């Protein structure tokens, strides 16, 4: 699928235009197109071939023409022309957390910054402080962003990697007839960011598997191809490493290459304590292999309860498995609904009816519409009058679409002074109120914590959305006392969200686990702005599993009647 390649070009084009100070509407249009195409669950090439591309809300004739051009030629002429209008080095600066296109454009025009080295020189100088809107705090933030960028080593978000990784596994199975192909490494552990994709194939014919792998559609470059392993590059930046192992070592190899390193060290130590040796070939007593064909067999021989891949981080999972005390982790099949979805009433692209039908197709019993409120003008936030009209449309959709209940809600802004963007008289009439911070990210730790605490003390707020405000790889979490937030959440009965959108995954796994330990309910919301983003529920569930959560910890696992009771509606 070329979806992500096209989305990346549109996003890059928007960046270039914004750096240049081009028309804001044009910039916004390309951003919207990037988001829509990148999140489609179907191949955009199929939509172009069938003529259905123009049926996608937010895609106009001009954009459709550029998509068709890329599919036909591998290039978009407009993009190739525009990228020549700015120095190449400015594109790299876009990867620096906290440094946006407008600021890059300002640095380029005023201080002649054209590269990372130029940025570092500007940060060491004094002239940068004289630029409009800069100041010492912003300079410190950019410096921190440079450090974060240089230490990140090109990791991508789980959501950006996972669909490609799963496609590769399925394609390799089809190409070779080898049914036993599995993801490994940090992708299989569902870490929030991924360095590269690790794949294991279990076969007695490694040469044939290697040949099939290096010939897969989408392989742009073969980096290495040996007798049992190979590496290729796909999608421009993603490296995929394959190892072929014999079936009788499959379990041991899968454990070894799944990791994590710290978890593997603990297992090898445990094996040694029992007079055994564990490596990627099997579990041995002397020279005799006593287990190795399956992970379950190896762990059983070590006296362990099976440890799910998501838990293999050496955070107490080995000790719990020895005591047969690992939790029964939440699964996607336990999820009965999505508790944070946007519609085209604010900045989404799907109608409420489209959301309802798509959620029903996911097997859900309910879905909550949580559009932005009036202060978030950039997201076309709803006024009080509009949210009342929306509630009437939701009621109409509920009458029309059977088998699922659309809950009326909002994602109400927690304003800079701690008040909410809607009065209580409006909030009390809604089913699900998610309260989120969308501004004032540079406020002090006490100030931001106080804002969130104040929101939780409002009896009409049900969930705190994306509680730390981070965007993976682009914006760090704001300063907030999460321990205090969780204490108040437990006192007020407010849930904290695992925002499943792939650039957020917020709460993260560590905070999710701590929330459960403190008796705080967790709600998973995809924050979808298009129905093709509903699949990201899987990312939220995987984060919950990494946080040791069971279905008892997750609101989405409640029946509709039980959820309404939790919400205080019955």
The 10s digit of each residue's pLDDT in 305-343 is 999 999 999 999 999 999 999 999 999 999 999 999 999
Give Cβ neighbours of residue 385 (< 8 Å, ≥ 6 apart).
none
Per-residue pLDDT of 136-176, as tens digits, reads 878 888 887 887 776 655 678 899 889 889 999 999 998 88
**Residue appearing with tokens 């509920």:** 398
Q: Which CATH number fits domain 332-566: 3.40.50.300, 3.40.1190.20, 3.40.920.10, 3.20.20.140?
A: 3.20.20.140
Confidence at 57, pLDDT banded by 50, 70, 90: confident
Sheet of 219-225, strand order: 181-184, 197-202, 238-245, 229-234, 219-225
- Domain extents in the chain: 3-152, 156-245, 261-322, 332-566
- Asked if the model's pLDDT at residue 450 lies above 60, the reply is yes
More confident residue, 2 or 462: 462
- The 3-state secondary structure of 179-244 reads CCEEEEHHHHCCCCEECCEEEEEECCCHHHHHHHHHCCCCEEEEEEECCCEEEEEECCCEEEEEEE
Domain 3-152 fold: DNA polymerase; domain 1 (1.10.150)
> What does the alpha-carbon distance between residue 255 and residue 252 come to, in Å, rounded to a whole number?
5
What lies within 8 Å, CB to CB, of 170 at 6+ separation is none
Closest to 414 measured CA to CA, from 437, 433, 381: 437
pTM beyond cutoff 0.85: no
Query: Phi then psi for 450, rounded to 5 degrees?
Result: -60, -40
HEC-encoded secondary structure of 366-395:
EEEECCEECCCHHHCCECHHHHHHHHHHHH
Between the two ends of the chain, the Cα-to-Cα distance in Å is 47
Report the CATH superfamily, name and number, of domain 261-322: DNA polymerase, thumb domain (3.30.210.10)
The fold adopted by the segment(s) 156-245 is Beta Polymerase; domain 2 (3.30.460)
- The share of the chain scoring above pLDDT 70, in percent, equals 98
């Amino acid at each position: 699928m070329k979806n992500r390649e096209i989305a990346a070009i549109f996003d890059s084009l928007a960046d270039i235009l914004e750096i240049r100070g081009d028309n804001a509407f044009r910039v916004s249009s390309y951003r919207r197109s990037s988001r829509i195409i990148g999140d489609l669950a179907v191949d955009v090439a199929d939509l172009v071939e069938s003529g259905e591309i123009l049926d996608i809300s937010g895609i106009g004739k001009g954009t459709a023409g550029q998509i068709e051009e890329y599919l036909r030629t591998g290039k978009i002429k407009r993009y190739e022309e525009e990228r020549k209008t700015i120095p190449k080095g400015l594109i790299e600066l876009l990867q620096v957390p906290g440094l946006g296109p407008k600021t890059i454009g300002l640095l380029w025009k005023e201080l002649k910054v054209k590269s990372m080295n130029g940025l570092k020189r500007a940060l060491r100088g004094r002239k940068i402080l004289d630029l409009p809107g800069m100041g010492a705090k912003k300079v410190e933030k950019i410096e921190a962003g440079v450090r974060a960028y240089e230490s990140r080593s090109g990791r991508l978000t789980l959501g950006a990697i996972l669909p490609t990784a799963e496609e590769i596994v399925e394609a390799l199975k089809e190409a070779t007839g080898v049914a036993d192909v599995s993801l490994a490494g940090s992708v299989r552990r569902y870490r929030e960011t991924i360095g590269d994709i690790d794949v294991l194939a279990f076969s007695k014919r490694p040469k044939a598997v290697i040949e099939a792998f290096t010939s897969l559609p989408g392989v742009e470059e073969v980096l290495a191809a040996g007798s049992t392993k190979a590496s290729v590059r796909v999608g421009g930046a993603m490296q995929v490493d394959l190892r072929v192992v014999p079936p009788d070592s499959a379990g041991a190899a899968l454990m070894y290459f799944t990791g994590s390193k710290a978890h593997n060290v603990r297992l090898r130590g445990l094996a040694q304590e029992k007079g055994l040796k564990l490596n990627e070939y099997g579990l041995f007593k002397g020279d005799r292999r006593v287990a190795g064909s399956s992970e379950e067999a190896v762990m059983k021989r070590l006296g362990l309860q099976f440890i799910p891949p998501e838990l293999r981080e050496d955070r107490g999972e080995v000790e719990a498995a020895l005591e047969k005390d690992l939790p029964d982790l939440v699964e996607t099949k336990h999820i009965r609904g999505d508790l944070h979805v946007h519609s085209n009433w604010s900045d989404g692209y799907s109608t409420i009816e489209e959301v309802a039908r798509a959620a029903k197709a996911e097997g859900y019993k309910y879905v909550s519409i949580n559009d932005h409120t009036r202060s978030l003008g950039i997201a076309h936030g709803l006024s009080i009058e509009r949210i009342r009209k929306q509630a009437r449309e939701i009621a109409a959709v509920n009458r029309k679409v059977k088998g699922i209940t659309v809950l009326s809600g909002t994602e109400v802004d927690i304003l800079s002074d701690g008040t909410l963007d809607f009065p209580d008289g409006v909030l009390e009439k809604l089913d699900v109120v998610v309260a989120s911070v969308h501004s004032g990210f540079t406020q002090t730790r006490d100030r931001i914590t106080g804002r969130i605490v104040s929101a939780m003390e409002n009896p009409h707020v049900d969930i705190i959305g994306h509680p730390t405000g981070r965007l993976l790889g682009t914006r760090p979490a704001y300063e907030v006392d999460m321990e205090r937030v969780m204490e108040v959440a437990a006192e007020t009965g407010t849930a904290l969200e695992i925002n499943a959108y792939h650039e957020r995954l917020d709460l993260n796994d560590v905070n999710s686990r701590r929330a459960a330990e403190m008796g705080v309910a967790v709600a998973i919301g995809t924050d979808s702005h298009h129905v093709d983003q509903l699949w990201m529920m899987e990312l939220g569930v995987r984060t919950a599993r990494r946080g040791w959560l069971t279905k008892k910890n997750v609101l989405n696992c409640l029946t509709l009647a039980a959820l309404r009771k939790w919400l205080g509606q019955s």
